[in-house]
Structure 1
Amino acid sequence: MGTSIEKISESSSPDCPELTTLLLGCNERLTTISGDFFRSMLRLLVLDLSFCRYLNGLPEQISRLSSL
């Protein structure tokens, strides 16, 4: 939270199959998140994107996260 990340690309896709909470809030410079970023986060329950006011939208692949 609160970093200066501007873009999360497919090359930064972590292998986190057990991840349940991802806090990306307060990243005011964040504009883009690649769909592949969420590829291995099938157990994700909580995704905090609060105060990411320049985020241009969410990738279609986020719909695969059925527990979100």
Structure 2
Amino acid sequence: AVYSSVPVYEMMVRGIGVMRRRSDSFLNATQILKVAGVDKGKRTKILEKDIAMGVHEKVQGGYGRYQGTW
């Protein structure tokens, strides 16, 4: 699939699309946490505290399903 001009692999897990970018194999961490059932408030804390310490990219704006922390 292609979202916001970015080619991705996408699979459905428990009714939620989970994407992996073809160019660098980054996974959308936001989507993974949604699949795990983590509520929005806790998800935000995890993404800001734990994911932010490593190499990541925040995507805001553009196609909604592509947004999130990669």
Q: Quickly name the TM-score band, shorter chain normalised.
A: under 0.3
TM-score (norm: length of structure 2):
0.24
Structure ranking higher in helix proportion: 2
TM-score (norm: length of structure 1):
0.24
* Structure having greater relative contact order (Cα 8 Å, sep ≥ 6): 1
Structure ranking higher in strand proportion: 2
